[in-house]
Amino acid sequence: MRHPSPAGPGPAVQVVAHRGASTDAPENTLAAVDEALAQGADSIEVDLQRTADGQLVLLHDTTLARTTDVARVLPDRAAEPVGTFTLAELKRLDAGSWFGPGFAGEPVPTLGELLARVGDRAGLLIELKDPASYPGIEQQVADAVGAPRADVAVQSFDHDALRRFAAAAPDVPAGLLFDSRPTDAELDAAAAVADQVNPSFRVTDAALVAAVRARGMETGVYTVNTGADLRRMIDAGVHRIITDVPGALRALLG
């Protein structure tokens, strides 16, 4: 294990806003970040990709079609991958109107803009999205995060990329994402490089949480939105819950 977890049950479950408060504002925008802070999120989860000119930006999909007006502004390029656009081109796009007219003109933010907006008001959970398409992004993110903070972590479904990040930034908490229930062998391997095991809530129960904790790691589950599921994950003893409705989870936790 990299950073041993404290003994005992630990603090109350942390509220992690999925792509910001993405039920109430357009995902991966500063508007969603502001709303997550207003709803009492402990931490904000975002997706990170890289532009053609090397800038780190908050975007989930491999293309811009769903969450921007690229089809109107740059119609011939609407299906192109995110990494083929420069930051200047992305800044021409509206990343808010698709969600609602009140968010018209909301821009695609950079990681630097996110760090400046959040400051020390909340933690961050940064997902490396499709890192195989962005060689060297692990070191770039490590450099961008700067001085390690206990409440800033980096996670990925790409376990090879996460290992590279953990080597580049050994003092930054690292999390492995799983869409299926991790086996004991996978948990053993995770403990060598990760501080967090972050599976789908659908495959998570108290036994898995205990197995992760026994190996000195923490568990953060995604993406939990209904009252029954939120309660089940709280009862399972997870360390953090990633949710589109941080305010509802905060209210449930009292």
> Could you give the residue numbers annotated as active site?
18, 60
Smallest CA-to-CA distance from 160 within 187, 183, 190 is with: 190
Contacts of 127 (CB under 8 A, 6+ apart): 45, 46, 47, 48, 154, 155, 156, 177
Smallest CA-to-CA distance from 97 within 116, 70, 79 is with: 70
CB 82 within 8 A of CB 64: yes
Amino acid at 154: V
Name the one residue in this structure whose structure tokens are 């390690």: 148
Q: Quick one: tokens of 117?
A: 């907006």
Q: Quick one: tokens of 121?
A: 């008001």
Amino acid at 146: G
> Can you tell me the distance from the alpha carbon of 3 to that of 194, in angstroms, rounded to the nearest whole number?
8
Q: Quick one: tokens of 182?
A: 């991790």
CA 20-68-53 angle, 5° bins: 90
